[in-house]
Structure formats: structure tokens, C-alpha cells
């Protein structure tokens, strides 16, 4: 009985880790999108100046 509870705890921890990884990936993805948008905006601005 105690053994299966420990297994479930470990499974729960694994799920939490995956969840955190997913959140981090989403945040990094958002930064990537922001960088791309910023780069596009800057290059358009440069093109307008020239």
C-alpha cells in the first residue's frame, strides 16, 4: 500500500516537472515571437529611413 503511494507521488512529481517545462517552453516561445516581431519592426523602420 505505502509502495503504491510512493509511486503515485513520484508520478505526480514527474507530471509537475513536465507542466513546468511546458510553461517555460511557452514563455521562451513568447520571447522568440517578441524578438521576431521586434526584428521585423526594426527592419521596416530601417527600410523607411533609407
Determine the Cα–Cα distance for residues 14 and 7; give it in Å rounded to an integer: 11
pLDDT tens digits, 7-37: 887 787 778 888 888 888 888 888 888 998 9
Per-residue cell: 1: 500500500
Cα dihedral 26→32→33→35 (10° resolution): 150
Tell me which residue has cell 511546458.
22
The model carries a pTM of: 0.45
Residue 50 has pLDDT above 80, yes or no: no
Which of 35 and 5 is assigned the larger pLDDT?
Answer: 35
Determine the Cα–Cα distance for residues 44 and 7; give it in Å rounded to an integer: 55
The helix/strand/coil state of 8 is helix
Amino acid at each position: 500500500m505505502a509502495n503504491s503511494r510512493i509511486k503515485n507521488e513520484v508520478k505526480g512529481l514527474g507530471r509537475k516537472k513536465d507542466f513546468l517545462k511546458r510553461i517555460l517552453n511557452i514563455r521562451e516561445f513568447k520571447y522568440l515571437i517578441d524578438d521576431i516581431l521586434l526584428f521585423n519592426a526594426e527592419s521596416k523602420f530601417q527600410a523607411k529611413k533609407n
